[in-house]
Amino acid sequence: MGKERLAELRSQLDEINIEILELLSRRAELVQEIGELKKAKGTDRFDPIREKEMLDKLVAANPGPFDDNTVRHLFKQIFQASLGLMEEEKKVLLV
């Protein structure tokens, strides 16, 4: 029985992984669109105040089991990956 339950939980984990990937990808597209708007306005695309605001909202909504520091760490990685996308775009424009 434990074996069947394990297979079931693993299949749920695979599904949730894909759902997270889809949301991360939609999020990255949003960040790209925001970057385009900011570029058009001539404002800097990295905004540490806005980033802190997003992290504070996430920590306030954290249902657990991750502790707040882990939530901050994971989302900083996500933010950084999105900035990385914009950097690549910049490189593409420069060459």
Asked if 83 touches a second copy (CB under 8 A), the answer is no
23/46 with CB nearer a second copy: 23
18/94 with CB nearer a second copy: 18
Q: Give the tokens for residue 81.
A: 């990956």
1/95 with CB nearer a second copy: 1
Site map 32..71 versus a second copy, x via CB under 8 A: xxx--xx-xx--------x---x--xx--xxxxxx---xx
H/E segment holding residue 75: helix 68-94
Q: Cα angle at 11 between 20 and 24, to 5 degrees?
A: 5
Closest CA to 61 of 51, 72, 50: 72
CA-to-CA distance for 43 and 48, rounded, in angstroms?
Answer: 13
Q: Give the tokens for residue 56.
A: 């504070």
Binding site for a second copy (CB under 8 A): 2, 5-6, 9-10, 12-14, 16-34, 37-38, 40-41, 50, 54, 57-58, 61-66, 70-71, 73-75, 77-78, 81, 84-85
